[in-house]
Amino acid sequence: MPLTLVLLKADIKAFCRVLICNLNPGLSITLLLCLITFSPAALAADKVVLQLKWKHQFQFAGFYAALKEGYFAEEGIDVDIREVDTERSATDIVLSGDAHFGIADSSLVLSRLEGRPLVVVAAIFQHSPMVLITLESSGILSPLELKNKKIMYQRNIDDAVLLAMFTELGLTDEDHTHIAHSFRDDALISGDIDAMSAYITDQPFYFKERGIPINILSPANYGIDFYGDMIFVEESYLRENKEQVLAFRRASLKGWLYAIGHQEEMVDWILNNLKTDKSREHLLYEAERTARLIQPELVELGYFSANRFLRIADIYKSLGLAPINGEIEGIDYVTYYAGEDAHLRWIYSSILVLVTLSILALVLWVINQRLKREVVLRTLKFEEANYSLTRYLQMLNKYVVSCSITKDGIISEVSKAYCDLSGYSSDELVGKPHSMFRHPEVPTDVYRTIWRTIKQNKVWSGELLHRNKLGYDYWVSSEIEPHRDMYGTVIGYTEVSADITDQKKIESMSLTDSLTGLANRRQLDDAFQQSSALAKRYTRPLSIVIFDIDYFKTVNDTYGHLAGDKVLKSIADVLGSTTRRGDIRGRWGGDEFVLIFPETDINNAQRVAETVRIAVCDIVIDGLPRQHCSFGVAQWDNAENLDKLLERADSALYRAKEKGRNRVEVCL
């Protein structure tokens, strides 16, 4: 709740206490009885319907947990959870009034663009679980290889994220044959289709259970990152039931935290209390994959970004699925609560006017009756103004991240909010150089630019990476401007910042591989463009290494994909410890990794590759055989693009395979 709202409510409550204290006893008792009668605890639980988008499974475990653990009941809500209606979508059911809350994916953005009054209350899945599946025997490892192939998916329902991926790769709707989804997991095995859409949390288990190797083509690996499941409500219902909607949101998020922390317990509860066609092993698989998409340890549960909604809307428009002039204004539930502050401010202002008029009348009476009390009244007014100013300064100190710096760069004053964010006390900061916040990964030129700008009496603004007292990194958006005395002379500088760490985490998620944390293809391409531009400008060497895991398919087939994931994560850890801070480490896809080495010729790149090869061989994972990799190394020739350079490095990799694997080969 905004601070102003808290203060207004506190003042109004205090005003009510004063009024009640001055009423006669009978009227006071009547008023108290009214307050008790209309308190939330005295009201009967609201009966609401939650419409799911599919059948009962772990995909909706958070809502079951909120029901099971009594979180809905604590909020005064009696929830009826209904599984999918095969005749109508969840959005149609909510719009018709047959349900109050619903679960849907990023198609809610499309609905809003089409003028349907749906409002997002919380995002449960930070990433869409929608992927394409191909048989490993087909050899289809990339969406580019689906050209002129048959693909089974739901048109106009789950195809936006898939079509966006195709568009990103330069493919059109005419480059493949669309097959209507049969919802049969064995459709791919028959050979009638080449690929099918699926939920990464669900369908892969079917093939794993039967020992059928598959390839998973995820849109997220190609820069297309939609939201998954989200709670939504119809706009007019939200306007009329604001407190209930917030209560439902609180209980649901609390339920999801419980479900993620008690996966086996919730799986058993689903099997014992709901009708489901899934086995316990299938539900446990779904639970583990679902937790990856929610990522509560990285992003606050329920969080969603308005900017990300705008990007999704642009994708829908570019695909021709939504009207060009469509708007998503009103899709964020927060906008419907903004007016509450204005309403309370109006009440507060009205009360303030009444109080002021009363004071003026009292002052006039006092002047007429007892002139000598004027001094006392003036003193009281001064104290009141002084109190208001003091409270205002306290609010600034508590909530505004700011500090004052001398012309020599010494911290002279800090706010409490600044201390809270940095982890240092005021005594630890005042008198210390502002350079103590310099981060080792931020180039020195950045700080030189800041000081050069403010020394010219100009304002500098931008984003900075800092490290707090406990060693954790955080991002701020800062503005530093000259501080002048009453004569206009610059006597120091003032920095005002905002914490943007969560925003940076979300941006990072769109550029990194979700399993290993390494750069994805999109980030690798951007990094290569920057590195090659610098290498060309300053005539410096640039090398690249591509490698994959020898016999990795055997690991997946013999020990399962979870074991394969452990191997991939372990290799990612090795790359972090064997390469330099300025090197770029990425996962190209599957079991392929790419390393970009700026300022490095082919001989040094070969030495680093050999170091990585040896380190991989030393990895020990309980229950798994030792792993080894084959490497290909190439140096950029100042003209070729990334694909051409990778092609040369890839040829060296295949020579390493032909010569017995577990070795490094160079393309000269």
CATH number, domain of 282, equals: 3.40.190.10
Residues 496 and 568 in one domain: no
**233: which 2 tokens?**
């409500």
- Distance (Å, rounded) from C-alpha 628 to C-alpha 609? 12
Q: Examine the domain organization and report whether 298 and 419 are in the same domain.
A: no
Q: Is 640 found in the same domain as 565?
A: yes
In Å, what is the CA distance from 274 to each residue of 48, 59, 266? 19, 13, 11
Per the domain annotation, does 661 fall within a domain? yes
Under DSSP, is residue 170 helix (H, G, I), strand (E, B) or coil? coil
Q: What is the CATH number of the domain that holds 500?
A: 3.30.450.20
Same domain, 120 and 233: yes
116 shares its domain with 146: no
Amino acid at 298: L
The residue out of 163, 193, 219 marking a domain boundary is 219
pLDDT of 602 reads 95
Specify whether 439 is located in the same domain as 474.
yes
Q: Among residues 312, 302, 326, which one has the least CA distance to residue 249?
A: 302
pLDDT at 121: 97
The pLDDT value given to residue 164: 84
Supply the DSSP symbol for 49.
E
Handedness of CA 345, 351, 354, 356 (dihedral sign): negative
Residue 275 belongs to a domain = yes
**How many whole angstroms separate alpha carbon 356 and alpha carbon 349?**
10
- Residues 410, 365 share a domain: no
pLDDT of residue 28: 42
Report d(CA 513, CA 223) in Å as an integer. 10
Q: Any residues with CB less than 8 A from the CB of 383 and at least 6 apart, and which? A: none
Looking at the structure of the chain, the number of domains it has is 5
Question: At which of 487, 506, 525 does a domain end?
Answer: 506
- The CATH number covering residue 624 comes to 3.30.70.270
289 and 412 share one domain = no
Q: Are residues 365 and 319 in the same domain?
A: no
**Residue 519 Cα distances to 264, 375, 531, angstroms:** 33, 71, 15
Length of the chain: 668
Buried (b) or exposed (e) across 354-393, using 16+ Cβ within 10 A?
eeeeeeeeeeeeeeeeeeeeeeeeeeeeeeeeeeeeeeee
Distance between the two ends of the chain, CA-based, in angstroms?
A: 63
Residues 412 and 493 placed together within one structural domain of the fold? yes
Low-confidence ranges of the chain (pLDDT < 70): 1-44, 156-158, 339-349, 382-396, 398, 505-510
Which letter does DSSP use for residue 37 in this model? H
Q: In this structure, what token pair is assigned to residue 451?
A: 């000081």
Q: Which of 167, 192, 219 is the last residue of a domain?
A: 219
pLDDT for 385 equals 65
User: Helix crossing, 306-318 with 160-168: angle to 10°?
Assistant: 80
Q: Answer whether residue 17 is part of any domain.
A: no
Q: Could you tell me if residue 591 is inside a domain?
A: yes
Q: Which residues contact 629 (CB under 8 A, 6 or more apart)?
A: 547, 548, 549, 550, 571, 612, 613, 616, 662
Examine residue 347 and state whether it is found in any structural domain, yes or no.
yes
| Token pair 């003209």 in the structure block, residue | 639
Residues 474 and 385 sit within 8 Å (Cβ to Cβ): no
Shortest CA distance to 219 belongs to which of 171, 182, 271?
Answer: 171
246 and 231 within one domain: yes
Q: Using a cut of 0.85, tell me whether the model's pTM lies above it.
A: no
Residue with tokens 């006597």: 491
Residue 208 belongs to a domain: yes
User: Is residue 261 located within the same domain as residue 122?
Assistant: yes
In a domain, 19, yes or no: no
CB 68 within 8 A of CB 269: yes
Q: Is position 27 within any domain? A: no
Please report, as a single letter, which amino acid is at residue 605: A
* Domain ranges, residue 149: 129-219
CA distance 430 to 406: 11
